[in-house]
Each structure stands twice: as C-alpha cells, then as structure tokens.
A and B are shown apart, each in its own frame.
Chain A
Amino acid sequence: MVTDIRYNPMAGFTAMIAVLLMAIGTVFVFSADANVKHELDLQRFMEYPELRQVLYFPLACIIMYTVSIFDYRKLSLSNGWRNSPVIYLLVLSIVLLILVLIPGVGTEKNYARRWFIIPAGPIGKISFQPSELAKWATIFFLAAVCDKFGTGIRSFWKRFAPICAVVGLAVGLIIIEDFGTAAFIALLAFLMLIIAGAKWWHILAPLLFGALAFFTALISSPPRMRRIAAFLSPDKWNDSAAYQANQSLIALGSGGLWGKGLGRGICKYGHLPEDTTDFIFAIIGEELGFVGNAVVIGLFVLFVWLGVLVVLRCRDRLGQLLAGGIVLAISIQAAINIGVVTVVLPTKGIPLPFVSAGGTSMLLSSAAVGVLLNIAGQSAPGSVRSKG
C-alpha cells in the first residue's frame, strides 16, 4: 500500500512548487504582520499569524509527504461504501458545518460564524474552519462517486440527482455564513460533474436552483450588496466597502515593477486590512513589485501545467478525476484570490492557497497535494507500482 515516489520528477516538481509557495507565504506573512505597536511576545505564540505560520509550514510539509505515501486508491468506493474514508470525511464535514453554526460552539470572526477555536494547551488556541474541510471532502467524494458510477452518471434520477443533493447540502450549510467559499465549492462541483461526463442539460437544473439560492443569499445580506456595489463603482474613495479594494490597488500599484523591497512595504501598517490572509498577494506586489507577483503567478501556472501532465499520464479514472479536482481547486482558488486583489472580482474572503496565513487551509491543501503527488508517482512512465 505504500508507494515509492522518490524517482519521479513530476511528483518532485509538484512538491517543490507547493513548498516554494508556502515558503514565500511564510516570509510574507512575517513581513505583513509587522506592526509599530508591539513587539513579538512569545508568551502569546499562537496569537501571531507569522509565528503560527512558522509552525504550520514544516507541519504542512510533513503532512504532504505522509499523505503522499498512501495509495490514493484507498479513496475508491469500489471496496464498498463503508470502507471508503471519503464517505467518513464527508459525513464529518457536514456534522462540523452544522456544529459551527451553533452559537457557543462555533466562533464569530468578522461577523461570520465560521471558526472552531480549539484550546491547545501551552501554545494557545488553534482555529479551525470546517468549510475548508468540506471543500476537499466534496471534491474527493465527487471524484470517488463519479469513478464508481462511471457512465451511470448520465442517469439523472438514479445517479445525478442524489449526488447533487449531497453537494447541495454541504454548499447550503456553508452559504449561511460564507458566501464566497460556498460559491467556489459549487463551481468546483459543477466542473467535476462536467468532467465526469454528466449531461449538459442535467446540470442546468441544479445550476438554476443554485443560482436562485445564491441570489437569495446575496440580496438578503446588505454587506454583500454593498461590496458588490463598491466593486462596480470603486471610485468612491471614502466608501468603506470600497476601502479594501482601493487599498489593495494602492499596495499593488505603488510597488511598481520592482517593488519597494522585502519588508519595506507601508500598506501593511494598518492601511490594508487582511494583509496576512486574503490580501497577501498585494503585499507581495508592494514589496517585490510585478516581478514578485509574476513569480507567484508563474508558480501557479507551473502547478497547473504539472497537473495537466499528471492527468494525461494517469491510467485510471479515479486518479484522473482526483488529480483534476485537486489541481482545479487550488488553481481556481488562486485565480479568484488574485482576481479579488487586482479588483477584477468583488471582494470576498478566499485565501491564496499555500501563501495566505491560515492553518486549516494550508494543512488541508498540503494533504490534497499529497494525494496528487501519490497519483503523479504512480502514473508516470517507469514508476514502480506496488499495490498493497
């Protein structure tokens, strides 16, 4: 059951890109959290994103490696529903999504109840975002279930509709508190279904239903409407809703081609909110300029390209669906984040994979890439297969 991936350059490159992005992220989280108000106080270790990141970065590498040595076929449903970890993962996510909505169990940050705060003894508290877990659970579930059903996915009532119902449940639970992530998961689910060979007109039905749900969620929330309005007329400088977008543009634009120099950015000093998380890309742009941004984008393009190679070389349907889902999830999330930072898209809280501060996102992404590495290792020509 353990696969040797050491001699596979594709897996190696993929791992390298992920590690490089995490390294860049750690450096910039460190830079972005600089503050004139306080010095680091190690007694409150976990309160500083940059210190958390220093802790999570090696942890993410270990998780990535550990996951990569387990055969991805363990995720298959072919051994029966009860034996697949995918189902347990999905059930766990849905339970957590319900729990997080209960006041007292879930914790509010920025007026959205999205987090579990877990006390972790001497190092303080760890926050955990179940929607991140739900994202990966949904992708893995879709890959596994589409693999199992094969062409049966074309049968609307027997196969397609139940799958949509399960995904719809997860998305519905997330949309209550996190519009952006829900929309993103829904988008990924549709892409996976299309890839899996679902009929176009089958997809229309849930698409219509989904669009309606999202529209309702949108108009029922004034802050969301404000953000959209601000996005449409960003010239209203003083409008607080457009503030983030404007600050993001100032950070990016004032960096110029070469940037102000690592650590020499100014926007992070309270001008640009969420500088360590959703807007880390703007800080990179300010401090390293277009060059820094181009490197980050280049790494993601390379990641996509390697993903294409993995999918092409993979011999079985589960691997193809899983690899496609994982690469799409990470790259689309990155594209959305960069789109928000460059004010091509309205502001929403989606982090830049690997780079943004945030333990849950980073650890789970690493685990997903671990799965991808395993697929890459097994599918490349000349690799050793050792089915356990």
Chain B
Amino acid sequence: MRNVRVTIFFLVLVAAVFLGLAGRCFYLQKFKSKFYIDKSFVQQQSLSSFSPQRGTIYDRRGTILAASNTVLVIKAEPRIIENPEEVSTKLAEVLDMEAGEIYELITKNKKSGYVRIKEDAEADECDRVMGRETESEEAEEPAKDEIIAKKKRKRIHRGIAVESGRRRHYPLGRLVASIVGFTSRDEKQGLEGIEFKYNKELSGSSASSIFLADAGRRPIRLKQRKGVLTDGNGLILTIDSAIQEFTRSALMERYKSYEAESALAVVADPQTGEILAMVSLPDYDPAEAHSVDPNDRRNTALSDEFEPGSIMKPIAMAIGLEAVAVSKNDTIFCENGSYSGKGFGRIGEYRNGFGNLPLRMILVKSSNIGMAKVGQKLGRKRLHDGLEQFGFGKRVGIELSGEADGFLRPVGEWTGYSETRIPFGQEITVTALQLVQAFCVIANGGRLVHPHLVLAMLDNEGNVIEVRRPVPPVGYIIRPDVANWVKDAMVGVVNEGTGKRARLEKWQVFGKTGTANIALKDGKGYSTDDYIASFVAGAPAEEPAVIVLVSIRKPNKRLGKGYTGGVVASPVAAKIIEKTMNYLERQGG
C-alpha cells in the first residue's frame, strides 16, 4: 500500500497549501484591506460636481451688473495623469495655449482630482480633446467598421475631459467695477466688492457626486452625494447705472483734464441713504481684474481717509447751532485775516480777511477764523460729541470691505489747536462716505441715515426675500430748523460764494467747497502743491432728492487751471446734479 500512503501524503500537502492560501487571503483582506481600498479609490472613483448658478446682481432699475454664463471648460484630473509632459504637449497642439502653462497647471495640483485647463473653450477644441470628428461627414455611407472605429476613437488622453462650467460676466465693465467687484476664475469665490461681501448669499451651495468608474472612467454607479444644489441669491443694488454713467463721465473728464491722482464721486438719496452712484477713479475692467494693479481696484470713496478742509464747515456750524453755542443771527469778528493766541497758534484765511461776519456769511465766504471761533465757543467736548453723532470716526457700514474708520481724536487728547482747526476740516480725517452721510443729515432735515448699496435680495426664482429697507432713522441729531438754516447757508455758497460754478438754472443747488492741503508724510505741516479739491452739493434745495460729493485728489496745479474745490470739483457736481435731476424727473422719481 505504499502508493496509497504517498498519494495521501501529497493530498495532505495540498490541503495544507490550501490552508496557507486561506491565511494569505485573510492577511490581504483583513490587515491590508484598508491599503487596497485606498489604492482602489484612486483608479475606481470619479468625481462630478454640480456647481450652482451664482446669483445675478442688478441695479435698482433691473439692469444686469453681474451674471453667470455657461461656458465649456476643459478639465484635467492630475492624479491619474502619469505623464504630464506628454499630456501638455498634446493639449497645446489642440488648444491655443502654451504647453508650459498647461504643464504647470497639471503639476502644480498633482494630488488633485480636478483642475481647469481652459475655460470658455471653443466647441471644436472640445471635440478634438474628446476625440470626436469635427470634419463634416462624407456623403457616402460609412462602412460598419468605420462606425466602430469612430466609436472607439479615444479622447486625447486619459484624465482630460470637457465639462460645462460657468463664467461671470460684467456687462457694464468698468462702470460699476469698484462696487460690484469680481470673483475668482471659477466664480466660486467673490474676491472684491459686493461679490466678496455677499459671497455666501450669491454662491448658493454646490453638490458633488462621487461615482465608481470603470477602467475607461465611465461611471458605473453613484457612491456618494455631497450637498444639495441650490442656486445663489440675486441682489438688487441701490445703484442706478444711468446715474452712475453720468457721474463717471463727468468725473472722468475732470480727472483727465486736471491730471489728478485720483477722483471720486458719490451720489446718494438723502432721505434714505441709498447710494445711487459711486465712482472711484482710476478704475479697472473686471474682465482683467486678476492682472491689474491692486491700487486701481481700490474704491477710494470708502478706503481713502483725508483731511476734508472747508467742506467740514457746515457740519461744525450745525453742531454749534444745535448746541446753542451760537445762534443764527450772531455776528462774529473775523480778525481781518489773522487770528492767534496762546495754545492754538495762528490762523489765517485763504485770501483776504473779513472783519465782522454774520454766521451765514462765515459759511458763504468760508472763513477759517469765524469757524475757529465757533469751535472755541462750542468747546472740545460738545464739538467732539457732535462730530461723533454725525458719524465721524467710525465706519458708515457700507456693504463693501475695505472701509476706513477716519480719524477723530479722542476728546482727552484734544488741544487748543484741535478745537480751532477741526471746524474748518483739519486735524480730522474722513472718508467720502462719512461726508455723504453727514450732508444727508443736513439735507433731510436732521435725520441720520446710513449710506447703503443693497436694496433687496432675490431668491433663485427671482422673488424678493429680503428687502433692504432704508435703514430706519437713528433719530434726529439736529433740529430741522438748524438743518434748514445750514442748507440755506449752503444755497448762499452756490448763489453768491465760493461755489458759484455749481449754479444751475433749473434746479436750486446748495453746496460747499473744500480745498484741503495734503499733510506732508512726515506729519509736519502741509504741502503747498498737493490739494484735495472737493465739493459737496445737493438739490433741489426745497426738498433735496440727491446729495453729491465730488473729491479730486492732487489736481495738477502746474497746469494753471486752478486747484480749489470751487474751480475743480464744483462744475462736476453741477453736471452730475443737472443730469441726475433731469433723469429722475423723466423717470417720475
């Protein structure tokens, strides 16, 4: 029975081998399972994401300021691309792109499963990437083999595909760029302006699905779904693009002809604080936003702090009247052009001295000494608190980022200089929006309103879901008779004083000029060449519908055309008011 024993020996040996193999399976499937599952994910999963439609931004009349269009995107999955050089060379032949650029895109995100190679690709580029025939079919019926061959025609490379994506468009371009801002290239992230501030609301929420895929990366079945696809909300801004256009073109003309460093203009509705137009020059084209100088992208109306100069006088006067430090019929001796004393140095006028001036004429003639004396009568505390109530020294809360606080010294740090200089706009810095906010108070009879940009939010079906009502009045910070008196004095400025160039036949304008010296960088004194020429105005005087602030920084004095607020800025404000008022009249608003 030797042969039986040998047979059984061999069979037992085989059985033992089987047990060993079972052990090997157990090792692979128990202890190495995680490793192989991870490995399998790399080749067996493919991700497709569904991006929401980003909300549209409209102006108050329904003009589209920002909207998303569908475009074709050529995408890559770098982690499965084994040979980036080869892929980028092949792609470069088909796309109008440099091979190096493509190579960088792929290698920079090596571990990633998704990179956009080209957005807004042409249809025939996509066809070539996917290996589809682009030439028109031959007249003859293709043979069966050819059909099969066509079906088998491979896309340009594994890991390269086409998807439909979205791209943000800004139909008005530069006109509203400094307000609306722009997004990242894939439009998922707002980077500046309203796009940035309202990114969450505008973006909506995206959804993505992870598919299990076969070797040709065709989906087999859904593995996991993340998120719920919700389109972004739309926004309606307070901006009126027609007024924005008047404002920009009027400002642009001055900005260029005076070779100014920068210029800004804001148009607001004093009753509500709605910003109708806001222009900041230089500006930029949002289509090239990613490559322009970041300085050009600043919205100077909210980011630039400056010493306002004489434009501050009506506000200080209103504070003085409200506190009854002075009364409307007072006359103040303006020292014939030179006023000095212990603790506040010497104060001069811009041109000639004035002698005795009624309060109203202090504003009309823009007397520094008169205002210094009003400040002295008010005292530090009352002047400081009044300025705070008008909103100086803190942000107005506009719906844009980058807003500056302005600088209002705490009252404890005030000196005799402070109480005499601040009333004519030195030793304090403000933003254009703070000035607009303050003059809205004068124009609307004493009520504080906050400048704002968003009128309403729309859900993704276009229904209004959140009305940005005009911010409820914080309260009257000056009496209506004081506000009206100051407004009337500002009518005087336009009709008989420094703002004569802003006079209009049809509309009664009120306003105030400001020509501020720019403080030297070392903080010692002021430059004699660099000015900020400003003009604030409103119309019509009886029931103001608009407040306009124009501020032009560093007009070129050497051109010999002047540099003061009255010369440089007030004609711009007048032009804006004229066009805007006519426009609003036509609109029935």
Contact = CB atoms under 8 A, between A and B. Distances in A.
B is a partner of A: yes
B11 A197 contact: no
Pick from B3, B19, B32, B44 the residue with the most CB of A within 10 Å. Answer: B3
Contacts of B109: none
Interface in B203-222: 212-216, 218-220
Contacts of A335: 14, 17-18, 21
A253 interface: yes
A339 B23 CA distance: 11
A297 B22 contact: yes
Contacts of B139: none
Given A257-B33, A297-B18, A195 B25 contact: no
Contacts of A305: 15
Interface in B13-49: 14-15, 17-19, 21-22, 24-26, 28-30, 32-33, 35-37, 39-40, 43-44
Contacts of B82: 238
A321 B4 CA distance: 8
A351 to B, nearest CB: 16
A307 B11 contact: yes
Nearest to A247: B43
A274 to B, nearest CB: 13
Contacts of A185: none
Contact of B12 (A36, A270, A308, A338): A308
A257 B30 CA distance: 6
Interface string A267-284: 101110000000000000
Chain B contact residues: helix, strand, loop or mixed: helix
Interface of A: 35-37, 191, 194-197, 238, 249-257, 266-267, 269-271, 285, 289-290, 293-294, 297-298, 300-301, 304-305, 307-308, 311-312, 317, 320-321, 323-324, 327-328, 331-332, 334-335, 338-339, 342, 344
A227 to B, nearest CB: 19
B7 interface: yes
B324 interface: no
B43 A253 contact: no
Contact of B21 (A250, A266, A311, A344): A344
Nearest to B1: A320
Contact of B14 (A249, A285, A304): A304
Given A250-B40, A266-B214, 16 more contacts: A253-B35, A253-B37, A254-B33, A255-B29, A269-B213, A269-B215, A270-B215, A285-B25, A290-B25, A293-B25, A304-B15, A307-B11, A323-B7, A335-B17, A335-B21, A338-B18
A194 B2 CA distance: 10
Contacts of B214: 35-36, 266, 269-271
Contacts of B44: 266-267, 271
A289 B29 contact: yes
A308 B8 CA distance: 6
Nearest to A256: B33
Nearest to B218: A36
Given A250-B36, A269-B214, A324-B7, A293 B15 contact: no
14 contacts: A36-B214, A249-B28, A250-B43, A251-B40, A252-B25, A254-B39, A255-B29, A266-B213, A269-B215, A298-B22, A312-B8, A323-B7, A328-B10, A342-B25
A332 B33 CA distance: 27
B6 interface: yes
B495 to A, nearest CB: 83
A191 B37 CA distance: 40
B4 to A, nearest CB: 6
Pick from A191, A267, A320, A335 the residue with the most CB of B within 10 Å. Answer: A335
Pick from A249, A253, A317 the residue with the most CB of B within 10 Å. Answer: A253
A289 B30 CA distance: 9
Nearest to B151: A37
Contact of B216 (A270, A312, A331): A270
A266 B40 CA distance: 9
Interface string B35-66: 11101100110000000000000000000000
A135 B220 CA distance: 40
A251 to B, nearest CB: 8
A143 to B, nearest CB: 11
B7 A266 contact: no
A249 to B, nearest CB: 6
A14 B37 CA distance: 37
A168 B474 CA distance: 107
B220 A197 contact: no
Contacts, number: 145
A256 B33 CA distance: 5
A353 B15 CA distance: 16
- Report the contact-size class of chain B (Cβ under 8 Å from the partner): 35 or more
Given A285-B25, A297-B25, A250 B39 contact: yes
B14 A317 contact: no
Nearest to A344: B24
A331 B33 contact: no
Contacts of A35: 214
A169 to B, nearest CB: 25
B32 A194 contact: no
Contacts of A238: 82
B151 to A, nearest CB: 10
A252 B11 contact: no
B28 to A, nearest CB: 5
Contacts of A257: 29-30, 33
A368 B6 CA distance: 21
Nearest to A313: B4
Nearest to A327: B11
A194 B12 contact: no
B10 A253 contact: no
Contacts of A290: 25-26, 29-30
Contacts of A251: 40
A252 B18 contact: no
A290 B28 CA distance: 9
A166 B18 CA distance: 31
B25 A256 contact: no
B6 to A, nearest CB: 5
B348 to A, nearest CB: 83
A321 B10 CA distance: 12
B84 to A, nearest CB: 14
A338 B12 CA distance: 17
Nearest to A314: B4
Contacts of A269: 213-215, 220
A293 to B, nearest CB: 5
B8 A256 contact: no
Interface string B328-342: 000000000000000
Nearest to A338: B21
Contacts of B218: 36-37
Nearest to B21: A338
Interface string B281-319: 000000000000000000000000000000000000000
A301 B17 CA distance: 10
B268 to A, nearest CB: 61
Pick from B8, B35, B40, B82 the residue with the most CB of A within 10 Å. Answer: B40
A302 to B, nearest CB: 10
A197 B217 CA distance: 57
